[in-house]
Amino acid sequence: MPTNADRRVALLTLGCARNEVDSEELAARLAAGGWSVTTDGTDADVVVVNTCGFVAKAKQDSIDTLLAAADTGAKVVATGCLAERYGEQLAGELPEADAVLGFDHYPDMAARLDAILAGETIASHAPRDRRTLLPLTPVARQAAAEVVVPGHGAGNLPAHLRGVMRQRLESGPVAPLKLASGCDRRCTFCAIPSFRGAFVSRTPDEVLAEAEWLASSGVRELVLVSENSTSYGKDLGDPRLLERLLPQLAAVRGIVRVRVSYLQPAETRPGLVEAIATTPGVAPYFDLSFQHSSEPVLRRMRRFGSTERFLELLESVRRLDPDAGARSNVIVGFPGETREDVDELARFLTEARLDAVGVFDYSDEDGTEAADLPDKVSESDIKKRYDWMSALAEELCAQRAADRIGSHVDVLVDDVLDDSVEGRAAHQAPEVDGSTTLVGGDGLDPFALRRGDLVRAKVVDSVGVDLVAVPIEMISPADS
């Protein structure tokens, strides 16, 4: 068995940016427990896979990663959403994993890995509905200190009296920052609340302290993540708290852009729209979870809205900033969806002028109400609708990008490579919304730029959702 100084653990993260934050909290806890933490699973004593349990493909990716980790000869631990959701069942079906640990194991993860490396057997996580762990009334939840909520720091001490429980696993100029965890909505297709729990906000002082810590490590853009950012503050007694927090985050020294993600259209208030669209340093970017636009489908999803209401919301954004970015995800093939419903969704996407659209084909999820709904759409029809809607979304988003040719965008430089300089405009979130390639012209030399520089650029071309732009002015250099 390796000595304490030699123990190496590889943290492999799958899924969303919320999982990235959770992994970096685990990295800090493991480092405090004497482990050397890496993201390279080829030469580790233990490989911890922070799994995703969102949809079938994500589950399979998690299982494949666990199996590949087992082939290295290291001890293998499954944690994260798939482990939390299935626990003992996953352990029974995946003997290659030496342990399946849930969120309640996070605070003493280092000790758990010590035991696993020593050959001890750790009882697999027993799943439970995490919504039942916290009070039904949101304002009573902050006092429930005994409930483990990943990504929420190290206890109830004020932020200025404790260190940030996080160790960065990536070194780029952008980082996710968790606003909250869990969700109180009851969408019929979604299992996330059952294993992520009820909605809990992080306090503003904790969020600000972590923002300052991230800025001190070279982060220039903060991406605020949660299951539902529009609910932020409701359990702290102030449902408008995000509107007040955004200017404070934008004022953190070194931060040049704050981006809000995961907005619920039904909860997106005019004041929040104004704060996101007009606050200096906040990206005018609206990640709106529409899912569909046909009222009958939305009602079966237990969601609210319609094509007209959603278009009105987007119009309210563009009245404040005509160039604001907007993206969404939609589901096709939901039980009971008709061809008329699909046509209505197509009408909405055509008129909405979104910058990016993720199209998902419906599949039943364990434990969800939708899994038991009648009037299932056949797999062949779901595939046809998915293919058609994906092609339509791709065409519409490419046209939206082309419409930006001739405009000016503020680009954060992500990478300066030997043959290209890549960054993102305000309407482009990391990994999901395309990027901007900076090229030479009548302006700055793109190859003289550095990661983290913020420059103003003129868009000269587009390729799909991606832009090509000439940098013309330095707004904020990386060392500012």
d(CA 100, CA 33): 20
Residue 224 dihedral angles phi and psi, to the nearest 5°: -80, 125
Sign of CA dihedral 390, 391, 396, 401: positive
Count CA atoms within 13 Å of residue 73 on its CB side.
2
* ∠ Cα 7 12 14 (to 5°): 160
Report the SS3 class of residue 32: helix
- Burial label for 195, CB within 10 Å (0-12, 13-18, 19+), is buried
Which parts of 164-256 are beta strand (E)? 174-178, 180-181, 200-201, 221-225
Any known ligand binding at 16? yes
Contacts of residue 49, Cβ cutoff 8 Å, sequence gap at least 6: 12, 14, 62, 65, 66, 69, 76, 77, 78, 79, 80
Please say whether the beta carbons of 157 and 149 come within 8 A. Answer: no
d(CA 53, CA 51): 7
Any known ligand binding at 397? no
**E strand or H helix that includes residue 350:** helix 339-352
d(CA 317, CA 300): 27
Please say whether the beta carbons of 191 and 365 come within 8 A. Answer: yes
d(CA 260, CA 344): 28
d(CA 155, CA 320): 40
How many residues would you count in the chain? Answer: 480
Contacts of residue 72, Cβ cutoff 8 Å, sequence gap at least 6: 41, 42, 44, 47
**Bridge partners, 455 (sequence order):** 411, 474
Binding residues: 16, 52, 81, 183, 187, 190
Binding site per annotation, positions for [4Fe-4S] cluster: 16, 52, 81, 183, 187, 190
